[in-house]
Structure 1
């Protein structure tokens, strides 16, 4: 074990706010610096791993997926600033959100139309139907 490696996996989990299995998963994906194994078999992580995990959490808070975060880290590992890539990823996310918002607004309007249409109706129970209101919908 070198002096660079100071934290056991449980310590990193506590300080970074992620679970031990999550840390192992991040390591498997290459998102964090791999642990060194001590003579006792324990994983020891470099001090930088906590900041790496915190970066991952911040990037996830922006809606970035782990594969997108991996791409950002790859650019940084090549010695380049990934800020333009991040801007492009965020622009793509914003476009996706605008599309989803539009679809949800349309869906909301459809539901409101059904609600208005069904007000004042007195459905009758029949053996062939489960809910006469829903039965009026054309898929």
Structure 2
């Protein structure tokens, strides 16, 4: 795991460097309860453990796949319960995949509309612009 040793204490800066997650984002995940609050040193500095580091990697990977924070929370709840079924995780992932496919279909429609608008523009020096006309058009 990125050459990480299994040491007990990870200050927030190291967590950020190891995972590629911004420090403010780590604090945000703590505030919303996605990442358990770490122990603190006598000076008040956060000290994360290896399990928290693994959870932060999990969050980063899941976010990279487009999972919403609530979906990640659901995945953690299943994993933390210890009596979850793989079928539950599968169902959540299938729902997420359907959402991603819907977004892709919408983006393809958007791409076609923008491409059509761009193809109608001659980029001339006159103030008439088919792109602006299309945006102002009332259906």
Partner of 1:89: 92
Q: Normalising to structure 1: TM-score of the pair?
A: 0.70
Which protein has the larger Cα radius of gyration, Structure 1 or Structure 2?
1
Question: Which of 46, 49, 65 in structure 1 is aligned with 2:49?
Answer: 46
Give the aligned length: 129
Unaligned ranges ≥5, structure 1: none
* Match of residue 64 from structure 1: 67
TM-score normalised by structure 2 residue count = 0.70
| Unpaired runs of at least 5, structure 2 | 1-6
Deviation of the 1:56 alpha carbon = 0.8
- For residues 57 and 138 of structure 1, do their structure 2 counterparts lie closer, same or farther at Cα, with a shift above 3 Å needed? same
Report Cα offsets for 1:49-71 as digits up to 9, x if no partner: 21111111111122101111011
Higher normalized strand content (fraction of residues):
1
User: SS at 1:7's partner residue?
Assistant: coil
RMSD between aligned residues: 3.0
Residue 82 to residue 45, structure 1, CA distance change in 2 (3 Å): farther
3-state SS of 1:10 partner: helix
SS in 1 for 2:98: helix
Residues 61-91 of structure 1 show CA distances to partners (whole Å, capped at 9, x for unaligned) of 2210111101111122222336333322322
Query: Does residue 131 of the first structure (1) align with residue 128 of the second (2)?
Result: yes
Moved more, 100-109 or 79-88: 100-109
